[in-house]
Structure 1
């Protein structure tokens, strides 16, 4: 993408790290060292892993999951805020500092970065779960101008004092979309698989490229799992909104993903 003056925009990497990597100290450390080594501007969006469930259960707060999504009642919201925006976020920041990467840990409420609303209940009331309304892209750009990496936890707010637990994949997508107005954005979803797989039991069955038509066929043929479908929906929405490069792959292959040499590439028709 170029503007009317043919000035090539600066590159920005928006990287989403999955909860299974966060739960593994060795894998997380290796991933963060690779993230620290990325040249240029970068944003890391993280989920919560299983720590919030363990903390809640230790406090006697029962947890309910529906289709892999957490029901966030008032007490659970306190726990996920403490764990996601607190320990996990600051642990990541501290490890990045140790790796020589100056980093700032934030939630969506900080600097009004991400504002949303409580999800409207249809058949299931997920509690204080947020859907995103707006990203303060100008403020994010100001922060990035200081050459610090941003680390975003999946906690947002509604502008009226209410915190909200928000899907980290969606946060990565919306941040990437908003920042594509200023940068050439690469959106990288990193998790425990090497890409989107034709056979979930075969890690070598990586699909190198998926366009929208192929995605519809994969869904129709029941090739991809229910958990991958919303991730790909997010990816195609981001692509349509101006994000230039989208890859899904293994956290251990982040250096290759940055160079577009690994994982599954999500492309236009």
Structure 2
């Protein structure tokens, strides 16, 4: 099977023009088929505050009311997505910006209200991905660039970018040998959030469960870890969490960061 790199970029990298420029150059240089999924939460938060819309989070996840939905749709699907696509075109990488609604590529359901009402947030399953369309685009040397938005019943839904990356990895596993990489500003999953060098190099599920009970992990890393293990459980062989500046290493044989295994 051909290799496919599914790469999610988030964190402070998106807010740092120089770091983002280097990351996109590294991403464009990857010769194998690739998909990019981006976040953009801090940009949406900043614009929302300028518009008088306060952001609220629970367990690292944004609460999306109707006003917030308008903001994230504009920022994620418009501003951030198109800036990234334009930058990749300049680098000779033929990128196509997408949300889940485009080509009906990712369908979702609005998250049901249980203990918490997350608002207009989408939940997705692997069988909700139009993998045939993505396979066609990849075979045409087109690089999909996903904003963290899906759709259901005619409504856009804010959807965690880590979740989109995980679900895409699972869905495309029947077509490709997938390596899923979560890139952000830290060197990997940290044992001590105050020590940037306390990287956990290998994190099997048993160790993850143990450290979770000890409250070792910061809230912001939990969605990445949950989605990493969801992908592993569904058959994805390789998941890495690491620094965006290490992307070229993490698409080779020698890797940095944290390796997630079953």
Give the TM-score of the pair, scaled to structure 1: 0.92
RMSD: 1.3
- Name the CA shift for 1:225/1:130 in 2 (closer, same or farther; >3 Å): same
**Does structure 2 retain, via aligned residues, the 8 Å contact 1:118–1:164?**
yes
1:166 aligns with 2:159: yes
Q: Distance in 1 between matches of 2:97 and 2:34?
A: 13
1:146 aligns with 2:137: no
1:88 aligns with 2:76: no
Partner of residue 192, structure 1 = 185
Partner of residue 173, structure 2 = 180
- Name the CA shift for 1:139/1:265 in 2 (closer, same or farther; >3 Å): same
Partner of residue 29, structure 1 = 21
- Name the CA shift for 1:127/1:113 in 2 (closer, same or farther; >3 Å): same
Q: Distance in 1 between matches of 2:32 and 2:96?
A: 15
Q: Which runs of 5+ in 2 are unaligned?
A: none
1:12 aligned to 4, 17, 24, which one?
4
Q: State the Cα distance separating 1:75 from its structure 2 match.
A: 1.9
Structure number with the higher helix fraction is 2
1:68 aligns with 2:86: no
Q: State the Cα distance separating 1:46 from its structure 2 match.
A: 0.5
Q: State the Cα distance separating 1:58 from its structure 2 match.
A: 2.2
Q: State the Cα distance separating 1:56 from its structure 2 match.
A: 2.0
Partner of residue 130, structure 2 = 136
The runs of at least 4 consecutive aligned structure 1 residues that moved more than 6 Å come to none
1:256 aligned to 217, 234, 249, which one?
249
How many residue pairs are counted as aligned between the two chains?
Answer: 259
